[in-house]
Structure 1
Amino acid sequence: MDQIDRTKWMYDIGRTSTDYLKWLEEFINIAETDQLNKGSSVIICPCKKCMNGKSFKDSTDIRNHLIINGFMRGYTCWSYHGESLTDHNPCSSDSNQLNEEDSYISDNDNFEAMFEDIEDNVDEKYHEKFEQLKFDSKKPLYNGCTKFSKLSAVIKLLNLKANNGWSDTSFTSLLELLHKMLPEDNELPVSTYYAKKLMCPMGLEIQRIHACLNDCILYRNENENLHECKVCGASRYKHGKPTDEDSDENGPPAKVLWYFPIIPRLKRLFANAKTAKVLRWHAEERKKDGKIRYVADSVQWRTIDNEFEDFGNEIRNIRLGLSSVGMNPFGDLSSGHSTPKQPGNNIDVYLASLIDDLKLLWDTGVQVYDSYKKEYFQLWAMLFCTINNFPVYSNLSGYTTKGKKACPVCEKNTHSIWLKNCRKPAFMGHRRELAVNHPYRSKKDLFDGTVEKSVLPPRSDGKTFFKMVKKLKVVLGKIGNGPPKGMWKKNPYFGNYRIGSICASEIV
């Protein structure tokens, strides 16, 4: 069976069908033969969950995984089970053993494809590192080695570390031992640090931004050169006031925000041709039958396309979802970090960098190279939705999600009852959203002992909402007279900046 046919039975037919089970046995036989040839006690599992990262002694476990989970995508050449990847030729099912040169050649082929994906997106400052990475992908691990390059050897060892949960200390000890066991001219790094530096010389940008100890400001833009907070007067550093106003050696900062900029990460998505093609799926390949199968089938998606035609006409434009479920920006709930507590409503301070990137992505866009279409285009993006648990919902929206009026949507019309014994409110008005003739409205015993006769009150649209909160004056940080009275404690940061002049509640 050639590679094209193999792709069909591995991914396109039912995993309980006769054909699938028949060809699955062919794979099991090849894997067992390879196990004997290698003298191994285990077989690597290529299912979607294990992805060649776990091994089992019994081939029955492999068979069960492949029936339940199916094969991992793209594994049509069984290189981990004795087949050759040389020159990307279709795999022969009777090949038994992966020879040493095949491994080196196939790794090099994969690296070349990767380098082609990112070459057009390498900044000038990273060009030298990029060339060094290409050089390491071709450099033998030691003179005369045909099985591993310097880069491929480190990648395989780091994969073992990750799959088996080795500590950095134990991995460093292993590297030191292997370095001594190999010929003296070997290129193997002797520590975890240098192994990771070799593999990731051009990591995506990380911004480390100093923050006020009391969450008042970030030391960026106009505040970049300040040594103390202009709002509360707290020192920027752990050890009090700086010894020298012009010195950069004033000790560690009191608090640091680690921001992962989204623009370089969006560019990296389009730098890979396969990923760039997937980013077009919602417009070119999804099933369109009038049912809501995907977020692109929603009313909100269509409303945006209709209201902002230029944005909607470019299918590569990005709609982002901000997920802040379980937000714990400093890890203080699970570690001994020195941060005293989470910022709460002052989380707005730490969103400033993200807001600036979102404004740029909407107002002017950024030029991005699409590796799938082999062209540059102007990419725009917008904040499509937010995903939060209820406590974080309060921090981001500025609405108090506690007490008898805890619903930010219903506000004063929130239906609640007070539980005397528990001394807390409960919310039982959900039947108002049902049709007036729905049978559940009259079923007292199943709910709170009453018949529901009220209807759902009208809800405020986005414009009414912004009028209600835009006049709230709040000073972030730990000074002043505290937040305003009432349920709304602040003007939501995303509402204040009006990303793209729209938000989810405003357009639907």
Structure 2
Amino acid sequence: MAKLKDMFPENNELASSTYHTKKMLCPMGLDAERIHVCPNDCVLYRKEYNELQECPRCGESRYKVSDNGDATNEPAKVLWYLPIVPRLKRLFANAKDAENLTWHADKRTKDEMIRHVADSPQWKHIDDQFEEFGRESRNLRLGLCTDGINPFGNMSSQHSTWPVSLVIYNLPPWLTMKRKYIKLSLLISGPKQPGNDIDVYLAPLIEDLKMLWDEGVPVFDAYRQETFTLRAMIYCTINDFPAYGNLSGHVTKGYKACPICENDTKAIHLEKCNKQAFDGKPEHRSAPIPLTGKQVYEQVKDINCVFGKPYKATTGQACYKKMSIFWSLPYWEHLDVRHCIDVMHVEKNVFDSLIGTLLNIPGKTKDGKNARDDMVKLGIRPELDAVKKGKRNYLPPACYTLSKKEKRVLCQSLHGVKVPHGYSSNIQRLVSMKDLKLTGLKSHDCHNLMQEILPIAIRSILPKTSKTRLSVDHPNH
């Protein structure tokens, strides 16, 4: 901090040390709470467990053990909790931010078009169901986002830390996802992901959210120069499909993975690529009507789940492994859409599979003997069936199979791409000409490559006749 202070002009007001920074921020309520956690994710050492030295369920020590077997004062696992209430109060303490937090009610264009989350049926349903909450435009609707990250880059490929963040949907669309307005509330330390036990870590946040819904907190609005009672709710969660399973408790693999079809799922069993027992019949029905929140609650309310790594999660009624902690929120069963899938995650998975298959990247390609065997069994392109040659299987080339020269040309096309600042990462750094593959792709990079750059790069390896036909069929390209 001292070096940072010296970098700025004289008489600046930056704190001179980390100590003085904490001394200034803590009275504002912006400090973080460090909570000890059972190493097996059984309990948080707070409230009735605050003084315990061992986990009351699995018996594991609360603290790390040194190499010589002695107990240390360092906790085995830690959860960082950043209380959300002081951060929301500070937003309203800024007049401009307080004005933006009512943009959805004061300045939004209302023409029956969906331009903002406030135009959605669920927003209107909440206003009708909870009239007192809906009357106050300053009451906040929050989106909860979480996923695993590796903070150590390539140094530790197995480490998984899970931040839990809140976004504010009252704001204008161009501000909702700005870093300033995304509130980090929990930081779940690794090295292993919490999985089904994420409910243990969410407990402090859920308690504050219950208080914000039931009682609210007095907040000063700097824009209107008045004090009001602020209330807030979780409008939905945003995550990829595996994290959806952790938060909702729904299974995400196998026969009952579809949250809409559930027990009525009908699909074709692929013997080589999927070992789950489907009935072998194709699906010709129309899409079923999604269950309401109350119907889902009836399915999960009697599921008794014991959290912790030593205890295996069992599937209860229907397709659920647990009764999610979100059901303890009074309004949760009244929401039409409780969990949303992040499209950018899905697009990244599709792009990784696509580019992995095109470049035949080991571990990434979806084309192999098992896939070819299943295609032949389904009567799809029997000419692509794997051929046994000695001890090895030969896969006849398909229309998407590229020679080494074509792979090099495709990678050179991507390697030479130059984009404006802020458009995406430096594409050149993502392309390995030595290994002929793409590495280090972020979700936004995959989106830009998938939508705009890759179709142009593929043209460099198409036959001339294909390029001419593509230009005729798609004059805009």
**Does the pair score TM above 0.5?**
yes
| Comparing 384-393 and 327-336, the one that deviates more | 327-336
1:488 aligned residue: 320
- Partners of 1:315 and 1:472 lie apart in 2 by 37
Q: 1:505 to 1:231 in 2, by over 3 A?
A: farther
Distance 1:328 1:399, change over 3 A: farther
Closer, same or farther: CA 493–327 of 1 in aligned 2, 3 Å: farther
Other-structure match for 1:276: 98
Rg larger in 1 or in 2?
A: 1
Relative to structure 1, the CA distance from residue 470 to residue 207 in structure 2 (aligned partners, 3 Å threshold; closer, same or farther) is: same
Cα distance in 1, alignment partners of residues 60 and 235 from structure 2: 37
SS of alignment partner, residue 251 of structure 1? strand
Q: Confirm or deny: 8 A CA contact 1:416 1:426 kept in the other structure.
A: no
2:269 pairs with 1:455: no
SS for the counterpart of 2:88 is helix
Question: Using the alignment, how far apart are the partners of 1:507 and 1:255 within structure 2?
Answer: 30
Map of 2:297 onto structure 1: 466
Give the C-alpha shift of residue 457 in structure 1: 2.2
**Mapping of residues 186-265 of structure 1, within 5 Å:** 189=16, 193=18, 204-239=30-65, 251-265=73-87
Cα deviations by residue, 1:415-446 (Å, 9 ceiling, x for unpaired): 4323334336799xxxxxxxxxxxxxxxxxxx
Output the CA distance in 2 between the equivalents of 1:336 and 1:231: 24
Deviations along 1:178-227, whole A, 9 cap, x unmatched? Answer: xxxxxxxxxxx5xx747966986757121110000100000111111111
Structure 1 position 391 matched with structure 2 position 242: yes
Q: How does 1:134-145 map to 2 (within 5 A)?
A: none
Aligned-partner SS, 2:242: helix
- Aligned residue for 1:310, secondary structure, equals helix
Look up the SS of the partner of 1:356 in the other structure: helix
Give 1:410 deviation, angstroms.
1.9
2:201 is equivalent to residue 350 of structure 1: yes
Determine helix, strand or coil for the equivalent of 1:232. Answer: coil
CA positional deviation for 1:250: 5.3
C-alpha displacement of 1:334: 6.5
Q: Hey, what does 1:133 align to over in structure 2?
A: none
Report the counterpart of residue 291 of structure 1 in structure 2. 113
Kindly provide the CA deviation profile for residues 18-61 of structure 1, in whole angstroms up to 9, marking residues without a partner as x: xxxxxxxxxxxxxxxxxxxxxxxxxxxxxxxxxxxxxxxxxxxx
> How far, CA to CA, are the matches of 1:470 and 1:375 in structure 2?
42
> Structure 1 residues 399 and 218 mapped into 2: Cα distance closer, same or farther (>3 Å)?
same
Q: Give 1:256 shift.
A: 0.5
Provide the C-alpha distance between the structure 1 equivalents of 2:292 and 2:234, rounded to a whole number of angstroms.
18
Residue 343 of structure 1, CA deviation:
1.6
The answer for the alignment partner of 1:341 in structure 2 is 192
Which of the pair has the greater relative contact order for Cα pairs under 8 Å at 6+ separation? 2
Residues 353 and 463 of structure 1, relative CA distance in 2, 3 Å threshold = same
TM-score relative to the length of structure 1: 0.53
The one-character-per-residue Cα deviations of 1:432-477 (angstroms, maximum 9, x if unpaired) are xxxxxxxxxxxxxxxx9x8x74222233211111111111111111
TM-fit CA distance, 1:281: 0.5
User: Quick check: 1:323 aligned with 2:154?
Assistant: no
Shift of 1:303: 0.6
Letter of the 1:235 partner, please give it: S
Equivalent-residue separation in structure 2 for 1:196 and 1:151 (angstroms): 14
Change (3 A) 1:313 1:328: farther
**Is the aligned partner of 1:359 residue 2:210?**
yes
For 2:191 and 2:19, locate their aligned partners in 1 and report how far apart those are by CA, in whole Å.
34
SS at match of 2:296: helix
Shift of 1:324: 1.6
| Number of equivalences | 300
Q: 1:150 aligns with which of 11, 23, 32?
A: 11
Residue 194 of structure 2 is aligned to residue 368 of structure 1: no
Segments of 5+ residues of structure 1 without an aligned counterpart are 1-139, 142-146, 156-188, 428-447
Letter in 1 for 2:205: L
| In structure 1, C-alpha distance between the alignment counterparts of 2:250 and 2:39, rounded to whole Å | 24
1:476 alignment counterpart: 307
Deviation at 1:407, TM superposition (A): 1.1
Distance, in Å, in 1 between the alignment partners of 2:201 and 2:251 is 20
Structure 2 equivalent of residue 122 of structure 1: none
Cα distance per residue 1:240-269 (max 9 Å; x no partner): 8xx99xxxx951111000011111111111
| Partner in structure 1 of residue 131 of structure 2 | 309
| Residue 459 to residue 232, structure 1, CA distance change in 2 (3 Å) | same
Contact 1:217–1:229 (8 Å) recurs in 2? yes
SS across alignment from 1:455: coil
Distance 1:330 1:209, change over 3 A: farther
Which secondary structure does the structure 2 equivalent of 1:418 belong to? coil
Amino acid at match of 1:295: V
In the superposition, relative to structure 1, how do residues 456 and 404 fare at CA in structure 2: closer, same or farther (>3 Å)? same
Partner of 1:378 in structure 2? 229
Work out whether residues 127 and 135 of structure 2, in 8 Å CA contact, stay in contact via their aligned partners in 1: yes
Q: Cα gap change, 1:336/1:417 in structure 2, threshold over 3 Å: closer, same or farther?
A: closer
Q: Distance in 1 between matches of 2:266 and 2:120?
A: 28
Distance 1:257 1:217 in 2: 11
Alpha-carbon distance in structure 1 between the residues aligned to 2:136 and 2:151: 34
Q: Which residue of 2 aligns with 1:23?
A: none
- For 2:334 and 2:152, locate their aligned partners in 1 and report how far apart those are by CA, in whole Å: 28
Q: Which stretch has the larger CA shift, 472-481 or 219-228? A: 472-481
Counterpart amino acid of residue 399 in structure 1: H
Matches of 2:160 and 2:311, distance apart in 1: 30
Q: 5+ unaligned residues in a row in structure 2: which ranges? A: 162-188, 340-477
- In the alignment, the residues of structure 2 paired with residue 424 and residue 265 of structure 1 have an alpha-carbon distance, to the nearest angstrom, of 48
Which of 419, 422, 438 aligns to 2:270? It is: 419
Tell me the SS of whatever aligns to 1:351. helix
Q: Distance in 2 between matches of 1:476 and 1:385?
A: 23
Q: Which amino acid aligns with 1:366?
A: V
**Are 1:417 and 1:426, in contact at CA under 8 Å, matched by a contact in 2?**
no
The amino acid of 2:236's aligned partner reads C
Q: Percent identity?
A: 51
Root mean square deviation of aligned Cα:
3.7
